Structure 1
Amino acid sequence: MARHDNPSIRFSEEDARRLHHPHNDTLIISIRAGDYNMHRVLVDNRSSADIIYYPAFQQMGIGRERLIPINAPLVGFGGTRAYSLGVVTLPVTVGDYPQQITKDVAFLVVDCSSAYNAILGRPTLNAWKAVTSTYHLMVKFPYGVGELRGNQVVARECYVAMMEMDDHLQAMNIEEQRMVAKPAEELEEVHLDDSRPERTTRIGTLASQTVRQALIVFLKENQDVFAWSHEEMLGIDPLIIIHSLKVSPSFSPVRQKKRVFALERDRAIAEEI
């Protein structure tokens, strides 16, 4: 490769003329990884790792024996953790000759669903001395000032695909690593009032049958201590349970438009409420 002095990297309005403005699109590029042209590659300055998603890894025909095991977890935006299947090193080529660069990139292979095939993070961007511009949807690097243009149409397709994707698919690898605590004993549901079947409580099953029967009789005789509604919770200061909105009375209320969620999110919201 011809040696170049460190040139100045600049972005101009001319670089942004091909785009639809205004926009908040992500930077999606195409690269050559190994023997394959890989599209839908997200350039993410926030990512501390370079990632290939397992479906793309499989389509490239790379054997799993090339994966080097690693125990470092990936921490997501919400603090969730995912574990990779391993690390694979591939030669990556970007740019057009002669403003072209080829370097080995260590990718973490992650087995979860994504609209992207891969993510280029800070390790590769720093190794390339690359400069990104989300406004221009472009990456420039100092090898004769090579450049990579993002694909705005693909970026919007990926955004729609991610919004429509089921949450349980995105969290599949995280769920496999989660340890769920088991209860110390099974619980038995007890009806306190036969005329009101909704009034129930639960007791443990490790005690003997005699002890459980005595406990059930005791609970039924003293069911008046249970509060079945807020009105029955007497003696509590209303300031503790009354919620007020700290808004200025001089402002008129504005009704927000109804937000529509996907079916899976609607179910999750209903369960949480």
Structure 2
Amino acid sequence: MIREDEPAIIFTNEDARQLHHPHDDAIVITLTIATYTTRKVLIDNGSSADILYYPAFQQMRFNKESLHPVNKPFIGFGGMKVLPVSTISLPVMVGSYPHQVNKEVNFLIVDCSSLYNAIIGRPTLTSWRVATSTYQLSIKFPIEYVIEEVQGDQLAARECYLPMLATDG
């Protein structure tokens, strides 16, 4: 629901002061997925799905009965077809107390190589009403009458990106 009395979401140069410039880093944050603090979560406006990578799922030690089979592939980066292992709905918390959003997220569980643990795509970003800024490596979203910000982790973004460059032929 859109509220007319909600403050505007704006990004300023102040939001980017603590970053190393110039950069073209991705927005990589830490989220609480179920009860697990999950680092290396990519914020991806270009993804039409929310993805949890299988190694991260295994570390969370969920009961396999909570999984729902899926047999519909999706197209991954580079046009490659990827068949998810299954889907799972998990509570995700973004923000910090007392300004946080808690929502159920329907993840596709994918068993393929990634330096990320999860990807939050458009379905969840839209439900959280997130605005992103790659320059500031930040996401902002409204919570009641406040705008909450989650700053991306530039070091984690580089930990994920630089090894991919080294293996790119």
In which range does the TM-score fall when normalised by the shorter chain? over 0.9
**Structure 1 position 64, deviation (Å):** 2.0
- 1:74 corresponds to 2:71: no
The amino acid of 2:37's aligned partner reads N
The Cα shift of 1:96 comes to 1.2
Show the counterpart of 2:58.
Answer: 58
Q: Which residue matches 2:164?
A: 162
Question: Which structure has the larger Rg over C-alpha atoms?
Answer: 1
RMSD (Å), alpha carbons: 1.6
Supply the distance in 2 between the matched residues of 1:88 and 1:5 (Cα, whole angstroms): 36
Higher strand share: 2
TM-score normalized by structure 1?
0.58
After TM superposition, give the deviation of residue 164 of structure 1 in Å. Answer: 4.0
CA distance in structure 2 between the aligned counterparts of 1:93 and 1:26, rounded to whole angstroms: 20
Q: Is the aligned partner of 1:118 residue 2:118?
A: yes
Q: Which has the higher contact order (CA 8 A, sep 6+)?
A: 2
Aligned residues: 165
Q: CA deviation at 1:80?
A: 1.1
Letter in 1 for 2:78: G
**2:142 paired residue number:** 142
For residues 18 and 87 of structure 1, what CA distance do their matches in structure 2 show? 37
Query: How far off is 1:5 after superposition?
Result: 4.2
**Superposed structure 1 runs of 4+ greater than 6 Å apart:** none
Q: Give 5+ residue unaligned stretches, structure 1.
A: 166-261, 266-273
Task: Give the unaligned 5+ runs of structure 2.
Answer: none
Deviation sequence 1:128-153 (CA, Å, 0-9, x none): 01000000000000112111100111
Identify the residue that residue 106 of structure 1 maps to in structure 2. Answer: 106
1:66, 1:162 → 2: CA distance?
A: 32
- Within a 5 Å distance, the mapping from 1:211-230 to structure 2 comes to none
Letter in 1 for 2:151: R
Superposed displacement of residue 63, structure 1: 2.2
TM-score (ref. length: structure 2): 0.92
Q: Which residue of 2 aligns with 1:223?
A: none
The one-letter code of the counterpart of 1:145 is I
More helix by share: 1
SS at match of 1:78: helix
Q: CA deviation at 1:70?
A: 1.8
Q: Which amino acid aligns with 1:129?
A: R
Tell me the secondary structure at the aligned position of residue 82 of structure 2. strand
